[in-house]
């Protein structure tokens, strides 16, 4: 596991533009945009959270997209949301 401490330097390693694996000494912050949804109950007028941010640690796989479980939009509306990778950045810990 990578540890970021005062004896090393954190630097930008690369842009994340698709499915990949984080470096063994890295950390990534990735933004996903809601690209589709399926209404499970009620009717959905707007997507509750169109953009989400996810964080990934050393050697973790970053998916190009993911699907939520049944997300509660309002008390009577639920939908299954699909998010696609929009952008991201990987940082690495260097001595």
Confidence (pTM): 0.78
**Contact residues for 61 (Cβ-Cβ < 8 A; gap 6+):** 19, 20, 21, 22
**Residue ranges covered by each domain of the chain:** 10-94
Length of the chain: 95
CB 71: neighbour CB atoms within 10 A? 17
Rg, the chain, Cα only: 17
pLDDT tens for the chain, 95 residues long, are: 445 556 678 899 999 999 999 999 999 999 999 888 777 777 666 666 788 999 999 999 999 999 987 776 667 777 788 999 999 999 998 87
């Amino acid at each position: 596991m990578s540890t970021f401490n005062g004896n090393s330097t954190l630097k930008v390693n690369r842009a994340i533009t698709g499915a990949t694996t984080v470096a063994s000494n890295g950390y990534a912050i990735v933004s996903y945009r809601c690209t589709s949804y399926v209404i499970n109950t009620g009717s959905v007028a707007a997507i509750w959270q169109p953009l989400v941010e996810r964080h990934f640690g050393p050697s973790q796989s970053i998916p190009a997209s993911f699907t939520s479980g049944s997300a509660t939009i309002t008390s009577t509306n639920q939908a299954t949301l699909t998010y696609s990778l929009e952008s991201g950045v990987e940082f690495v810990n260097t001595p």
